Amino acid sequence: MKQYRIAPSILSADFARLGEEVRQVIDAGADWIHFDVMDNHYVPNLTVGPMVCEAIRPHATVPIDVHLMVQPTDRIAADFAKAGANMISFHPEASDHIDRTLSLIRDHGCQAGLAFNPATPLHYLDHLMDRLDLILIMSVNPGFGGQSFIPEALNKLRAVRTRIDAHRAKTGREIRLQVDGGVKLDNIAAIAAAGADTFVAGSAIFGQPDYRTVIEAMRQHELGEEVLTVRNDEITLAEIAALNPTYLCLSPGPSDPHHAGITLEVLREFTGKLPILGICLGHQAIGAACGGRVVRAQTIMHGKTSEIETDGKGVFTHLPRRFKVYSFILNRF
């Protein structure tokens, strides 16, 4: 199952208390800490160097992801690796020899990535996919934080996702697809749908009073969850547990839940541990597992409807202000 990563960029943090900011955002659920490194040469801004990475390393219990916007790249890449970076990405235009820079990063024990500006073509990937652990798509022009997302980046994300999926099908290797620039609550769902799995966010997180609330909103309400559909007679309890699911949704096919594979075993094993939703005949299974007496409804009670009027916000953003919901009731205890 696809795992999303939220990587807050310290470019938007309070530098007067950077160590505290890093600890707080990790406690709030950040998966990575993202460094935007600028040299006032490749881009017109100057930010942080390896010494800051070394100072932050003891405070970071998650991987440190370094994005180099510098030229040349090799010396500074090696210095960041020694300072405690876990992933280092750079721009192909900034390297005299891309393959050599990738090898240098990997030889220092780090994962290696390539970063693409909005106008940078993707042909650099033609012969480098087997050398990459990460591909970073810039959705703003690099140099400053707080910029607006460039919508054309969605097409580039889709194109790279196609390449990554083809490479994984051929080799079994995973390559992360990261996006950086203008990522916020109101666009992260579209960005995820385009194929990104790792999201750099600066002011969208550090500009908020409660880091945990915004990270959870990004991860759950906007990203949603990947849905894995499996026949209930073709999976074991151990295999379900190994997937580490967030929710379970049951919709057994047979008319009798006792004939629906391991459905009842799943309920007995995971009730109280995970939220479990029953759809249609899944209601019967939940009733049976809880000791209820399952009987057929006297009539098929499809069609009971309720009308809901929403505020058009949050989870209702893309729904009509007024719509109907249908209740399906096929069991009683």
Domain annotation for the chain: domains and CATH numbers: 5-222 (3.20.20.70), 237-327 (3.40.50.880)
CA 6 to chain centre: 6
Lowest average pLDDT, out of 136-140, 154-158, 220-224, goes to 220-224
Number of neighbouring beta carbons within 10 Å of residue 271: 14
In tens, the pLDDT along 227-280 reads: 677 777 788 888 888 887 877 777 656 556 566 677 778 878 887 787 776 665
Lowest average pLDDT, out of 13-27, 88-102, 162-176, 249-263, goes to 249-263
| Residues with catalytic roles | 36, 180
Mean pLDDT of the chain: 84
Taking a C-beta distance cutoff of 8 angstroms, is the pair 142, 118 a contact? Answer: no
Taking a C-beta distance cutoff of 8 angstroms, is the pair 218, 185 a contact? Answer: yes
* Higher local confidence (pLDDT), 71 or 270: 71
- Cα angle for residues 225, 228, 230 (degrees, 5° grid): 155
CA 233/CA 43 separation, integer angstroms? 56
